[in-house]
Amino acid sequence: MDGAGTPGGGGPAADKGALRAQLLRRRRALSARERSAAERALAARALTLPEIATAGTVAAYVSVGGEPGTRQLLETLRERGTRVLLPVLLGDNDLDWAVYEGPGSLLPAGRGLLEPAQPPLGPDAVLAADVVLLPGLAVDAGGMRLGRGGGSYDRVLERLERAGAEPLLVVLLYAHEVVERLPAEAHDRPVHAVVTPEGAGRFTV
């Protein structure tokens, strides 16, 4: 997938589906040792972005499956005094938010997710974030992010845009998931930066 463009042939939505399948297969092939090393490195690299290192509030998420691990980063931020908000999936796939209070405060939720036990603050709580960390499967040179297709974070980005909020938008990925070009649809919004276990980079958006 390194440097790959769009597969072509079925329009953006079909192209996204093919790319998702390819990227998820590669994630599943990673060993537990590789994932653990990547999680440690990702936490360190994220703090090289000044906006993350100095943020008062960060909206983040708990990684699951083969996603680049976020748990060490969540703990590092909390221990530094950063207010960390984690998503709570609603029935319509929108996201509510609650404060992260440590690993022991996470509870199993639907779809294999872990969610905070703290009371939800409402979907608009994300508007207070200085930085929003987004899951994804890939990002391209223009900052366009490929998500899993559920639309939850599209709603978050739309909510931020409507409110005129301007947090730093950062996607967390493996290095091979930073590619030259991705298929894009009208509702897609670019992110500002990417963090991988190898480093952090910014986009002009």
Is 158 annotated as a binding-site member? Answer: no
Under DSSP, is residue 173 helix (H, G, I), strand (E, B) or coil? coil
H/E stretch holding 195: strand 193-196
- 16 annotated among ligand-binding-site residues: yes
Q: Does 88 carry a binding-site annotation?
A: no
161 has binding-site annotation: no
3 in a known ligand binding site: no
Do 156 and 126 form a contact (C-beta atoms < 8 A)?
yes
Check whether 38 is labelled as a binding-site residue: no
Q: Is 182 annotated as a binding residue?
A: no
Q: Is 100 annotated as a binding residue?
A: no
* CA gap 82, 183 in Å, rounded: 35
Q: Strands (DSSP E) along 53-188, which ranges?
A: 57-59, 83-89, 95-99, 106-108, 114-116, 131-134, 138-140, 145-146, 168-172, 178-179
Q: Is 67 annotated as a binding residue?
A: yes
Q: Is 205 annotated as a binding residue?
A: no
Whether 148 has a binding-site annotation, put simply, is: yes
Tell whether residue 69 is among the known ligand binding residues. no
The backbone region for 164, taken as left when phi is positive above 0, alpha when psi lies in -120 to 50, beta otherwise, is left
Which residues belong to the annotated binding site for substrate?
A: 62, 67
Which residues belong to the annotated binding site for ATP?
A: 16-20, 145-153
Which residues belong to the annotated binding site?
A: 16-20, 62, 67, 145-153
